[in-house]
Amino acid sequence: MSDYVSFECRGDIAVIAVNNPPVNALSQPVRAGLQDAFAAAGDSQCRAVILTCSGGTFIAGADISEFGKPPADPWLPEVLGRVESMDVPVIAAIHGTALGGGLETAMACHYRIAVSSSKLGLPEVLLGLLPGAGGTQWAPRLIGVEAALDLMISGQPIGAGAALKAGLIDRVAEGNLMEAATVYARELIESGAGPRRTSELAVATAHLPDGFFDGVREQVAKKTKGLPAPQKIIDCVESAATMDFESAIELERQRFTKLMMSPESAGLRHMFFAERQAAKIDDIPQGTPIRPVNSVAVIGAGTMGGGIAMSFANAGIPVTLLELDNGALDRGIGICRGNYERSAKKGRYTADQVEYFMGLISGTTSYGDLAGVDLVIEAVFENPDIKYDVFRKLDQVCKPGAILASNTSYQDLDAIAAVTSRPEDVVGMHFFSPANIMKLLEVVRGEKTADDVLATVMKLARKIRKVPVMSRVCYGFIGNRMLDGYMREAQMLLLEGATPAQVDGAMQKFGMAMGPLAVADLAGLDIGMKARQAIPDLPDHPSTHVADQLVEMGRLGQKSGAGFYRYDPETRQRIEDSQVETMIRAEADALGIEQKSFSDGEIVERVIYPLINEGAQLLDEGIAQRPGDIDIVYIYGYGFPAHRGGPMFYGSMIGMDKVYSRISEFRETLRADDWNPARLLKTLAEGESNE
């Protein structure tokens, strides 16, 4: 029928095949091809239709290149209406993944058969959307209200076995999928089974308690922080249970259109594209040769080093931990085992998997044992002299071509590389704690880092399930350099009259996973104090006074039971502390800072706008490649709300002219040196003002 969709009759069975590599996305040509193919099948003498896909997967979803553009005819609902209305049985033959519109296409078919390795899901909620081509109506008819809600609100796919048990598919194929689908089609023909249209199935509701949907709304609201898409999904599933199909479908389309226009979906879609773009380095061509990494070593078996080791073991890569003595080494390996065993208790791993992962982690106290590894990652204390010593030793013992990486979060990577005879092999790999869980990896490009080293590390990051973002060298790189202004203003607000709970509460309402002061308590207030003391001639800033006084009072954060808050020793629950508020007021008086009240909106501006401003400065300096890279760093590394798209996208949604104006106002009314607008921010603001 077309280059994208083929049609042929094999005896009395029609076979329609989608061929749109690599994932058979539902682009406009595919939709048009499907419409024509099913029209041809309807005009033929075929007694059944099999819908299949070439390549490695069934239809894996929509064509992401069409996101945000006006829909092109034919619309997917129109195509799927044609599929469901067929007068002969239509069987979806599923392999790989059937996601989003792909699963909706399968549900529009009358019967479904899938190979055992298939994954099926409706992940639209992850983009701030809902299934908009009938999915909210078909799913509850096939698998019930509760299972349909879980499938759509979680956005997580299920395997073929679970799909069969739920009723989402009818059979699991044994052996060749097309052969099994053909046998199934023949059985349907010979038994006289006609179309089984999903829209004509009843939604089972008799078992649902009174107020079921209101209860679900309340539960989901607590988990999703008021995001609109989950609530709209509930509306649509309720309509499936209470309205006729056509009316409910109309409601689904209205809700889908409204979500597509929402800022939350815009932010999530931006994140979707930014994550994929961040994996690319603009001046390194695709196809750049990469170095093999079949063995890894990590210097330092502390919390960070152990977490890094686990990240590689989880990907099946052998890793050697190096420590100064056997006691520290045994403690580090013991922490890894403890982490795995806790995960096993939660059902994430089996006992056999734990032993497999631990079998990939070995230990040594001798640098000589690292002579044959392909990659070494230094994860020692943030002291430049210690790091220089480590890299001198690695330069002596590691084989030619081995990649030498530093996990430093602040130090000058070029200075580290300069102590070696092979600076081209040195790169930054800044993991975030806990390294076995956090997805972000800042890949730091030194002045002399070789292209193939960068290409290797960016690809390796994906293998160990990290999201890589490339940064050039500067103090703190992207994330921690931007963090300075964020934390500075959070603490200045305390001196100006806000309480820790007010600041953290405003930021959590904004969507941050934790407020900045709660994060500081979690990290340890003494860590920040020691880091400042290590910087020669660092000017005094009033924003650090409160945290430093807390450390002097023995309040180091959660680990000491008190910091900006007191912590319940059993539950770790934060408790506001009047002693802290009294100390803050006294310090404000000593500094001559007048205290006042703040709204949540003012707090958000004071804390978030420094991120936007510093991000613009990083772009202007060429430290970050693109705004989306900065957004990914903050979403995956610092708990920035994904539905706001990251600080740079959030700034663009507000309007950079408004951000610039407010920062200029802060420069006039607050500490001027803290609020110098970035040159690029001013340029962007002037561009918006002239539009």
CATH number of the domain bearing residue 22: 3.90.226.10
Six-digit token pair at 120? 């099926």
pLDDT beyond 70 at 48: yes
In a domain, 29, yes or no: yes
pLDDT beyond 90 at 424: yes
Do 65 and 106 reside in the same domain of the chain?
yes
Do 513 and 532 reside in the same domain of the chain?
yes
Instruction: Please say which residue of 429, 450, 474 terminates a domain.
Output: 474
Domain CATH code at residue 457: 3.40.50.720
Choosing from 66, 84, 104, 489, which is the catalytic residue?
Answer: 104
Strand 566-567 to strand 574-575: parallel, antiparallel, or no bridges (unpaired)?
Answer: antiparallel
Do 503 and 571 reside in the same domain of the chain?
yes
pLDDT tens per residue across span 111-127: 999 999 999 999 999 99
Instruction: Please say which residue of 219, 247, 271 terminates a domain.
Output: 219
Domain range spanning residue 532? Answer: 480-622+655-689
- State the Cα–Cα distance between residues 160 and 152, nearest whole angstrom: 17
456-478 mean pLDDT = 96
Do 446 and 501 reside in the same domain of the chain?
no
Task: Say whether 104 is catalytic.
Answer: yes
Q: What is the DSSP string of 650-661?
A: HHHHH-HHHHHH
pLDDT beyond 90 at 72: no
Give how far Cα 72 sits from Cα of 18, 68, 452, Å: 19, 12, 41
Do 18 and 90 reside in the same domain of the chain?
yes
Do 15 and 147 reside in the same domain of the chain?
yes
DSSP annotation of 539 = P
425-435 mean pLDDT = 95
In a domain, 136, yes or no: yes
Helix (H, G, I), strand (E, B) or coil at 404: strand
378-405 mean pLDDT = 95
pLDDT beyond 80 at 71: no
Do 371 and 505 reside in the same domain of the chain?
no
pLDDT beyond 80 at 535: no
Average pLDDT in the chain: 94
Choosing from 84, 124, 378, 496, which is the catalytic residue?
Answer: 124
Do 423 and 526 reside in the same domain of the chain?
no
Cβ distance 582 to 549 under 8 Å? no
| Per-residue pLDDT at 1 | 60
For 136-190, give the secondary structure using H, E and C. Answer: HHHHHHHHCHHHHHHHHHHCCCEEHHHHHHHCCCCEEECCCHHHHHHHHHHHHHH
Do 159 and 22 reside in the same domain of the chain?
yes
Q: What is the DSSP string of 424-491?
A: GGEEEEEE-SSTTT--EEEEEE-TT--HHHHHHHHHHHHHTT-EEEEEESSTTTTHHHHHHHHHHHHH
Residues 6+ apart with CB under 8 A from 251: 235, 236, 239, 243
pLDDT tens per residue across span 219-244: 999 888 879 999 999 999 999 999 99
Cβ distance 13 to 48 under 8 Å? yes
In a domain, 240, yes or no: no
In a domain, 359, yes or no: yes
| Per-residue pLDDT at 62 | 85
Q: What is the DSSP string of 300-346?
A: --SHHHHHHHHHHHHTT--EEEE-SSHHHHHHHHHHHHHHHHHHHHT
In a domain, 123, yes or no: yes
369-381 mean pLDDT = 96
Of the pLDDT bands very low, low, confident and very high (cuts 50, 70, 90), residue 410 is: confident
pLDDT tens per residue across span 310-339: 999 999 999 999 999 999 999 999 999 999
Please tell me the total number of residues recorded for the chain in this structure: 691
Give how far Cα 394 sits from Cα of 151, 162, 358, 568, Å: 49, 49, 25, 45
pLDDT tens per residue across span 257-290: 999 999 999 999 999 999 999 999 999 988 899 9
Do 436 and 357 reside in the same domain of the chain?
yes
Residue recorded with tokens 């529009």: 108
Strand 48-53 to strand 90-94: parallel, antiparallel, or no bridges (unpaired)?
Answer: parallel
| Per-residue pLDDT at 562 | 94
Burial of 201 (0-12, 13-18, 19+ CB in 10 A): middle
Domain CATH code at residue 514: 1.10.1040.50
In a domain, 228, yes or no: no
| Per-residue pLDDT at 224 | 87
| Per-residue pLDDT at 382 | 83
- Give, in degrees to the nearest 5, the angle at Cα 664 between 661 and 666: 115
Angle between helices 525-533 and 516-523 (to 10 degrees): 80
In a domain, 403, yes or no: yes
pLDDT tens per residue across span 140-189: 999 999 999 999 999 999 999 999 999 999 999 989 999 999 999 999 99
Do 527 and 413 reside in the same domain of the chain?
no
Of the candidates 177, 218, 32, 2, the one whose C-alpha atom is nearest the C-alpha of residue 92 is 177
| Per-residue pLDDT at 429 | 97
pTM above 0.75, yes or no: yes
| Per-residue pLDDT at 536 | 78
pLDDT above 70 covers a percentage of the chain that reads 99
Instruction: Please say which residue of 427, 451, 474 terminates a domain.
Output: 474
pLDDT beyond 80 at 690: no
Do 440 and 508 reside in the same domain of the chain?
no
In a domain, 200, yes or no: yes
| Per-residue pLDDT at 286 | 86
> How many domains is the chain partitioned into structurally?
3
